[in-house]
Amino acid sequence: MPVIRSKLSEVMLRHDPKLSIRKLAKEINYHFDSVRRMYKNEMVQYPRDLLLKLCVYFNVQPGELIAMDAEDNDWVIDRSNDYEEDDDDKEPGTDSHL
């Protein structure tokens, strides 16, 4: 199954190999723990305000800070619950053969 992961560590390394998480948090005026969790890919949800501050600071797009990766190459999309219209879904009195 695919996963969303943070690429903040990669972006920081490209920008400045000596940039620390603490210094970054201070420079963008954001909670150190939140920046650390994103750096270590431990964040469950990505706050929009954090993404915006990081995008502005590094002059990147959000897609450069987060990415979708497959945990393994064998994942498939399960379409077993996809919507299929049947006669019960049609409004009474409508002709389904038009």
Distance CA 50, CA 29 (A): 10
Write out pLDDT tens, residues 45-78: 999 999 999 999 999 999 999 999 887 555 455 5
H-assigned helices in the chain: 8-15, 21-28, 32-39, 48-58
Q: How far is CA 72 from CA 3, 7, 66, 68, 76, in A?
A: 10, 18, 18, 12, 10
Confidence of residue 96 (pLDDT cuts 50, 70, 90): low
- 2 vs 30: which has the higher pLDDT: 30
CATH topology of domain 2-70: 434 Repressor (Amino-terminal Domain) (1.10.260)
Q: Domain spans of the chain? A: 2-70
Q: Which pLDDT score, from 0 to 100, does residue 43 have?
A: 92
Between the alpha carbon of residue 53 and those of residues 14, 64, 74, 84, the distances in Å are 17, 13, 35, 42
As a whole number, the mean pLDDT across the chain is 84
